[in-house]
Amino acid sequence: IQSYVLANVKDMRAPDDSTVVLTLGHPQPSLLDALSSPWGPKIISPVALAEHDNGDFATTWLNEHAVGTGPFKLAEFKRGQRYLL
């Protein structure tokens, strides 16, 4: 996760399997936009990071591969054309 997105987060906890609670240091109306932005933070498998880290935090590999934790799987990726889930 890019640290600037979460710089105002003072505490983060998961009270159950489907809830995340963020406690902020001050009001930040833009946080939800930043978290939901396609350029915002991503949840990336630590296994994939470890397997593909060449000293660049797996950035090179991640530019061409999808690693997610959600209910959808990437079936096809054509750069600049489409993603098929």
Q: pLDDT at position 2, please?
A: 60
Write out the residue range of the structural domain in which residue 25 sits. 9-84
Give the pair of three-digit tokens for residue 2. Answer: 């890019």
The answer to whether residue 1 is domain-embedded is no
What is the radius of gyration, based on Cα positions, of the chain? 15
> pTM of this prediction?
0.49
Residues belonging to the chain = 85
Alpha-helix runs per DSSP H in 9-45 = 31-36
- How many domains does the structure of the chain reveal? 1
Residue 24 lies in a domain: yes
Q: Is residue 3 part of a domain?
A: no
* Residue 2 placed within a domain: no
d(C-alpha 1, C-alpha 35), whole Å:
10
| Per-residue pLDDT tens digits for 16-35 | 988 889 999 999 988 888 88
CA-based end-to-end distance of the chain: 23
